[in-house]
Amino acid sequence: MTDLAAVKRALTAQRIETPSWAYANSGTRFKVFAQPGVPRTPEEKIADAATVHRFTGVAPVVALHIPWDKVDDYAALGSYARDLGVEIGAINTNVFQDDDYKLGSVTNPDAGIRRKATDHLLEAIDIMGQTGSRDLKLWFSDGINYPGQDDLRDRQDRLAAALREAYDRLTGNQRMLLEYKLFEPAFYATDVPDWGTSYAHCLELGERATVCIDTGHHAPSTNIEFIVAFLLRQQKLGAFDFNSRFYADDDLMVGAADPFQLFRIMYEIVRGGALDPAYGIAFMLDQCHNIERKIPAIIRSVMNVQEATAKALLVDRDALTKAQQSGDVLEANAVFMDAYNTDVRPLLAEVRADAGLDPNPITAYRASGYDEKITADRVGGTQAGWGA
């Protein structure tokens, strides 16, 4: 039997981190469709994130990206965020949008360019000190396009050296999250292409280094929940970048393409006791809203994660274990699917009402007048940096 009060408590305590860049204009390499009312400054991105939190109650953290969110005074930006009811979360680095990085950043054959890239990682750690952020998030676009273009093994050594230098700079509760991505922008070989590579580097670095799983960064049919289970068992899962993919790194709304996969992932999280914020996993979104309104899309994404989580929490674990241990394949699958097929929207509406929120965050946002206000107030919003 499922303890409904415990399920509600877990849903109330859940935390989801939204990315500053999802509030800004974005697009594909073919076209960026500018939207009215998008933020012009990091402060306005934070204000939009605070709005998502105001209507959902579970998104009190916003990730920044340097230099897209460059300001003179990061401590002031941190207090600005706190005044609006949100914290600054992961600091994302950018070692992919500079001509110098054509042949790589921390894996570049040129020592001077490697120095510049590593210095940017160190700069991000300094910023974390000022914003009070726990997480340094690293994604490297490094790789090569042609066989023989550079030495695969030397590039791993260069990567390890840069990671070590940054890792040794971490203090207090600071952590390093190492993201992997199958391909793109490099096509033949990527330097951190999969969870195994990220895991091996994190293991070598030490306990502050953990893997970030971006759900969009896998080959079709990859069993992502297996990766989740494996990394949790090794205490090496630090974060998610949630989004949906149909073909490649689409960055669509999480839970839009494959809500069943999201449920399976969240089941492993619940099974591993890792949902509680105290466990330390950062459940981040990494999305771009190219053609839809951004704030309601992010609210919808947060709700999709909540729905998958609620279903995962509703799995009758005793019945599942009994069926699994007696080898009852069909019953075990039926128990699992029963939870997935439950309509959890009324339960989540109740959880929101109990927290003093509107049970339907999207209609509440639409009725709030915020969208009209930002459309009228903000002229000339910025681009996230993607799809330039």
Residue 194 binding ligand AOS, by CB under 6 A = no
User: Closest separation between CB of residue 31 and ligand AOS, Å?
Assistant: 19
The partner in contact with residue 65, picked from ligand AOS, Zn ion, none with C-beta cut-offs of 5 to 8 angstroms by kind, is ligand AOS
Residue 218 binding ligand AOS, by CB under 6 A = no
Contact with ligand AOS (CB under 6 A): which of 44, 87, 286, 358?
286
Nearer to Zn ion, 254 or 275 (CB): 254
Nearer to Zn ion, 55 or 386 (CB): 386
By CB under 6 A, the residues from 117 to 146 that bind ligand AOS are 139
Which residues are CB-neighbours of 37 under 8 A, at least 6 positions away?
Answer: 371, 374, 375, 376, 377, 378, 381
User: Site map for ligand AOS, 41-80, x if CB under 6 A?
Assistant: ------------------------x---------------
Secondary structure (3-state) at 143: strand
Nearer to ligand AOS, 6 or 291 (CB): 291
User: Closest separation between CB of residue 20 and ligand AOS, Å?
Assistant: 9
Instruction: Find tokens 């599942």 and name the residue.
Output: 320
Contact with ligand AOS (CB under 6 A): which of 191, 241, 307, 358?
241
Nearest residue to Zn ion by CB is: 241
Contact with ligand AOS (CB under 6 A): which of 8, 53, 114, 181?
181
Instruction: Find tokens 């935390």 and name the residue.
Output: 15
Residue 17 binding Zn ion, by CB under 5 A = no
Residue 286 binding Zn ion, by CB under 5 A = yes
User: Closest separation between CB of residue 214 and ligand AOS, Å?
Assistant: 5
Residue 241 binding Zn ion, by CB under 5 A = yes
Q: What single-letter amino acid sits at 204?
A: E
Contact with ligand AOS (CB under 6 A): which of 43, 100, 119, 249?
249
The partner in contact with residue 92, picked from Zn ion, ligand AOS, none with C-beta cut-offs of 5 to 8 angstroms by kind, is ligand AOS
Contact with ligand AOS (CB under 6 A): which of 17, 87, 142, 214?
214
Nearest to 205 by CA among 181, 153, 169, 173: 169
Count the neighbouring beta carbons within 10 Å of the beta carbon of residue 289.
Answer: 24
Which residues are CB-neighbours of 260 under 8 A, at least 6 positions away?
Answer: 340
Could you tell me the sign of the dihedral formed by the alpha carbons of 66, 69, 74, 79, in that order?
negative
**How far is residue 283 from each of residues 16, 62, 63, 130, measured CA to CA in Å?**
5, 11, 11, 22
Residue 197 · residue 205 · CB < 8 Å? no
Alpha helix positions (H), 272-293: none
Biggest distance spanned by C-alpha atoms of the chain: 64
Backbone conformation region of residue 255, classed left if phi is above 0, alpha if psi is from -120 to 50, else beta: left
Nearer to ligand AOS, 86 or 90 (CB): 90
User: Closest separation between CB of residue 286 and Zn ion, Å?
Assistant: 4
Nearer to ligand AOS, 237 or 335 (CB): 237
Secondary structure (3-state) at 138: strand
User: Closest separation between CB of residue 243 and Zn ion, Å?
Assistant: 7
Secondary structure (3-state) at 9: helix
**How far is residue 104 from each of residues 6, 118, 211, 388, measured CA to CA in Å?**
48, 12, 21, 19
Residue 32 · residue 79 · CB < 8 Å? no
Binding residues for ligand AOS, rule: CB under 6 A, are 21, 65, 92, 139, 179, 181, 214, 241, 249, 286
Binding residues for Zn ion, rule: CB under 5 A, are 214, 241, 249, 286
